[in-house]
Structure 1
Amino acid sequence: MSDLKVFSPQSLQLLCELALEVVRAETVDEVFQLAARCGGRLLQADYTAVFRFSPVGSPQLVSWHNNRNNDSVEWLADLAVLRQELGHLRPFCLNQPDMATSLFTTHPEIHSLLSVPVLHNNELLAEICLVNAPNEHGFKAEDEQVANILAAYVAEALRKVQLIAEFEGREAELAQRNKELAALNQAAMAIAGELTLDKVLQQIVDNLRDLIGAQYAALGVPGPDGYLETFVYSGIPTELARKIGTLPRGHGLLGVILREKRPIRIPRISKDPRAYGFPPHHPPMESFLGVPIIAGSEVLGNLYLTEKIGADEFSASDQELVELLAAHAAIAIQNARLYEQVGRLAVIEERARIGMDLHDGIIQSIYAVGLTLESTRLALPPGSEEADKLLGAAIEALNDTIRDIRNFILDLRPRRFKGDLQEGLARLVREFQANTMIPVTLDVPPDVVANLPTPVVRAIFLTTQEALANIARHARATAVTLTARRVQEMIELVITDDGIGFDPEKQHQSVGHGLSNMRARAEELHGRFELVSALGQGTTVRLFFPTH
């Protein structure tokens, strides 16, 4: 501090007080305002100006101090031009009135100028310019030293404010991250608490949309053919979804995620060459984030988000959250599938047990009673026609009962469907004919059922199974016809019997005929269900399913 011996104690005290004011500032604007005011007070200059510098662009006048209260200060902005010409990384002192006067066109009388840079690690942050020293001799070396000390404090104050802003920003990011992780935890718990697969999938997309703040969310589950067989969405009204019609199958960006098994995050769907486009009535979508749901090496599904709310695109943080939720979703989907599988196995075991009990117990008992009645019938004395007739009716009734029980056993017996529709339908027909002795005409050409979507194949198999079981239980038919054909972009399945028929108007709930299940399957796949029946005229069930 030996270089400061020329300053009086009062000057040093004022320098320290003003420097402390500067470093205590809490914002950048406050630092600049104090820098201008303190510079004017320390050196008693007529005018003090502070210019802010950025990596690009011209210096910007951000603060000034005017000891001549009545003078205009607009001309101070011209000082930036001068400093650009003279360089910014070193102090500049000008005590030549003629030279100073030639630099400006509109200004008060200028006889001296002192300018010092505000540097941090050789980076120019700002510049403090003082105009007109309080005496005619201009600014002295001591004045330049004071100005440099003030500039050093200003640099540290700016750095402090920057560090505080960075800390507060990181603190805000951390708080937001904690909030997101808490929401993720709640979403994961909600997903884990549901065991029904359909509800699990819907729970995932609903929680995902809320967690990330997206307008739309969806989850697609691929089938054996590699295309989406299940597509669950959130954010699109039901009425609009009906207008859109066909659900995505896994083309474009959705297909890329299926094949490459990696996330995709883009700001504009319309600008991406992999995009497939949207069907009529589909809402516009631009920002996109897709993440696969993977368990081991198996892709269980894909999560899709579009239209980030409050931003032009999804962030890397959004992607990280979706990937975390995808891991939870994989476990939830596996749990739901295992739960459903256990439930199906329990039902199958129970049905098999009931079927065995019916076959080995009740049917054999009834059959034994029938044999007893046959023996009694043979032992009747001549002239017992009335008794013989009654015994014959009783024996026929027992045979009908045995036939009905066998039909119920047929309906209870589990059937494994491996995906081959041609083979599956043929097996259903063989089992039906063996148990009912009713002939079936099967007309299902291989090319008609080739390359059908997995959900449609399964729906046709289950519908045929349901229809044949209904015929066995209720129709009293002597012949059944089962046909399939392509009609434009639909496959038509027709099952006809020549049985007793029924009045559809009196079957409002369709209970006992399984018709509600058939109708539900058709509507679920955006197909159509038709029923034609009348008492004594048989029944025709006609269903239409989309072929793609």
Structure 2
Amino acid sequence: MNSDKHPENSHTTLLLSRFKDITSSIMDASYAGSLEQVLERIARVSAELVQARYAALGVPDGEGGLRYFKVSGMTPQEISHLEHLPRGKGLLGVIAKERKPIRVERIQDDPRSSGFCSGHPVMTSLLGVPIQVRERLFGILYLCDRTDGQPFSEEDEWLIETMAGYAALAIAGSELSEQRSRLTLLEERERISMELHDGVIQSLYAIGMYLDLMRTSDSAQISDLKPVIADLNAVIEDIRRYILNLKMSSYRQKTVYEALRDIVARLHVSETIRVEIDAPDTSPPFTPGAFEAICQMANEAISNALRHANARHVQISARQTEDSFQITVGDDGQGFDLRTTNADTGLGLRNMQQRAYLHGGHVHIDTSPGRGTRVTISVPPIM
């Protein structure tokens, strides 16, 4: 049957084909690696959809300018010759303000036009639509000059408006993905910062104290440097593990007592301080990752007692109750006012609280000036 006798069927088939092009194009754009790539693909496909010579997509920055501006139909060299990128004035400003599509046969004759900047190619017809979801404007998609010389039609407007509706979802999805990536990066930075403060910095501080004691000792021997060298190598390994998120591997085979004993050993306790450990020599009731976090909290509490408390006696105990596992670090030092902690101590205490919270537990600190400090770390068992 000759399709020319049924132009409506032919037209319907063409529209369905173009609509399929829209959905395919948006799906393709959604798989782009970045928001800018999504915008570039939407601009390019929009031009192909209505046979436009030029297409552009601008994303406002909220301050009257554009955060992104992607063009189809102009070379990078041509774009570099522009006096400035669009500033959201003239007809583009109308689209952004009124949030409605516009079609203009001759841009030069429209009183709302603000003209073209130096270096801008001369364009005649315009079809522009807002890219929005409800009240949020994601951008402006506009096209200029059909390749056949005809003005943009009502059908073209419908197609591009449909494209813009799908484009809004693709842009929103891409923005969400980028925000999630930034959040992941911030979380990773926070993790490494916590690990460095609670582990590496404490170890380095202890090594420094030990070296100071050696420097002032009349009986120091070269052989005394062996534990320092071993601890420095351990710190280097810790840094590598922290960055690669492999730190938990060093806690897999340790009992509770062994882990606490090793923490104390690496802090190089002064001979003037007596440290007692009362802990079960059994496997911890945790996954390696959870136990690693608990040991970091214990490391911070023990290090604070040795560094800041001016204590002579530090007691470390660990025990399991019906609903929690507790590590307590107490000292007979000078105590402190929780409201006036310094930057280093305050950061360490915040890290402890955060680690406990992430594992469903809490940290209780009982202290005041002149009567020592008692830190209790409570975390529910996790196997």
Q: Normalised by the size of structure 2, how large is the TM-score?
A: 0.55
Unaligned runs of 5+ in 1: 1-163, 410-548
Select the residue among 298, 303, 306 that pairs with 2:144. Answer: 306
Distance 1:306 1:355, change over 3 A: same
Residue 367 (structure 1) aligned with residue 205 (structure 2): yes
| 2:20 maps to amino acid | A
Tell me, in whole angstroms, the C-alpha distance in 1 between the residues paired with 2:4 and 2:49. 26
Q: Give how far 1:185 is off.
A: 2.5
Distance in 1 separating the partners of 2:186 and 2:53: 42
Partner of 1:246: 84
Partner of 1:229: 67
- Report the Cα distance in structure 1 between the residues aligned to 2:6 and 2:142, rounded to whole angstroms: 33
> Post-superposition shift, 1:231?
1.1
C-alpha displacement of 1:293: 0.4
Alpha-carbon distance between aligned partners in 2 of 1:165 and 1:334, rounded to the nearest angstrom: 41
**1:181 and 2:19 equivalent?**
yes
Tell me if 1:332 matches 2:170.
yes
Task: Check if 1:201 corresponds to 2:201.
Answer: no
Q: Secondary structure at the match of 1:244?
A: coil
Q: Which residue of 2 aligns with 1:294?
A: 132
CA distance in 2, matches of 1:261, 1:365: 60
| Structure 1 position 275 matched with structure 2 position 99 | no
> What SS does structure 1 have at the residue aligned with 2:6?
helix
- Deviations 1:245-276 (Å, cap 9, x if unpaired)? 42111110011111111111010000001111
Please point out which of 90, 93, 96 is paired with 1:258.
96
Q: Which residue of the other structure, out of 170, 180, 200, is the alignment partner of 1:342? A: 180
Q: Which amino acid aligns with 1:168?
A: H
Q: In the aligned structure 1, how far is the partner of 2:192 from the partner of 2:22? A: 46
5 Å-filtered alignment, 1:108-507, equals 168-380=6-218
Residue 188 of structure 2 aligns with an amino acid whose one-letter code is E
- 1:30-109 pair list within 5 angstroms: none
Asked if the contact 1:195/1:335 (under 8 Å) is kept, the reply is no
Where 2:81 maps in the other structure, the secondary structure is helix
Secondary structure of 1:229's match? strand
Which residue type is aligned with residue 282 of structure 1?
H
User: Partner letter of residue 138 of structure 2?
Assistant: L
**Does the 8 A contact of 1:257 with 1:302 survive in 2?**
yes
Q: Kindly provide the amino acid, as one letter, of the partner of residue 283 in structure 1.
A: P
Task: Decide whether the 8 Å contact of 2:30 with 2:174 is kept in 1.
Answer: no
Q: Which moved more, 1:264-273 or 1:218-227?
A: 218-227
State the number of aligned residues: 230
Q: Alignment RMSD, CA only?
A: 2.9
How far 1:198 sits from its partner (Å)?
A: 1.0
| Structure 2: distance between partners of 1:379 and 1:186 | 77
| Equivalent in the alignment of 1:492 | none
Q: Could you list the per-position Cα deviations for residues 43-72 of structure 1 after superposition, in whole angstroms to 9, with x for gaps in the alignment?
A: xxxxxxxxxxxxxxxxxxxxxxxxxxxxxx
1:366 and 1:345 map into 2 onto residues whose CA distance is: 30
CA distance in 1, matches of 2:67, 2:182: 21
Ranges of 4+ aligned residues in structure 1 off by more than 4 Å: 164-167
Distance 1:332 1:214 in 2: 22
Partner of 1:482: none
Partner of 1:412: none
Shift of residue 283 of structure 1? 1.1
* Separation of aligned partners in 1, 2:118 and 2:83: 9
What is the rounded CA distance, in whole Å, between the counterparts of 2:136 and 2:18 in structure 1?
28
| Corresponding residue number in structure 2 for 1:126 | none
8 Å Cα contact 2:57-2:71 kept in structure 1: yes
Runs (5+) with no aligned partner, structure 2? 244-383
For 1:166 and 1:234, the matched residues in 2 are separated by 34
Distance 1:233 1:335 in 2: 21
SS in 2 for 1:202: helix
1: CA distance, partners of 2:84 / 2:13? 42
Give the counterpart letter for 1:241 in structure 2. Answer: I
In structure 2, the CA distance between the partners of 1:371 and 1:306, relative to structure 1 (3 Å rule), is same
- Conserved in 2, the CA contact under 8 Å of 1:303 and 1:326? yes
What is the CA–CA distance in structure 1 between the aligned matches of 2:31 and 2:192, rounded to whole Å?
33
The aligned amino acid for 1:186 is S
Larger-Rg structure: 1
What one-letter code is carried by the residue in structure 1 that aligns with 2:84?
Answer: T
Q: Using the alignment, how far apart are the partners of 2:95 and 2:164 within structure 1?
A: 14
User: Is the contact between residue 213 and residue 308 of structure 1 (CA under 8 Å) also seen in structure 2?
Assistant: yes
Q: Which amino acid aligns with 1:260?
A: E
Deviation digits for residues 368-398 of structure 1 (CA, Å, limit 9, x no counterpart): 01101111111126xx9x99xxx9xx9xxx9
**Conserved 8 A contact 2:64-2:87:** no
The answer (yes or no) to whether the contact 2:101–2:129 under 8 Å persists in 1 is yes
**Cα distance, 1:165–1:234 mapped onto 2, change above 3 Å:** closer
- What TM-score results when the alignment is normalised by the length of structure 1? 0.39
Instruction: Tell me how far apart the structure 1 counterparts of residues 202 and 30 of structure 2 sit (CA, whole Å).
Output: 48
Deviation at 1:317, TM superposition (A): 0.4
Offset from partner CA, 1:5-27 (integer Å, 9 cap, x none): xxxxxxxxxxxxxxxxxxxxxxx
Mapped contact 2:83–2:119 kept (Cα < 8 A):
no
CA offset at residue 166 of structure 1?
Answer: 9.3
Instruction: Provide the identity percentage.
Output: 40
3-state SS of the aligned residue for 1:290?
Answer: strand
CA distance in 1, matches of 2:4, 2:216: 106
Instruction: Give 1:325 shift.
Output: 0.7
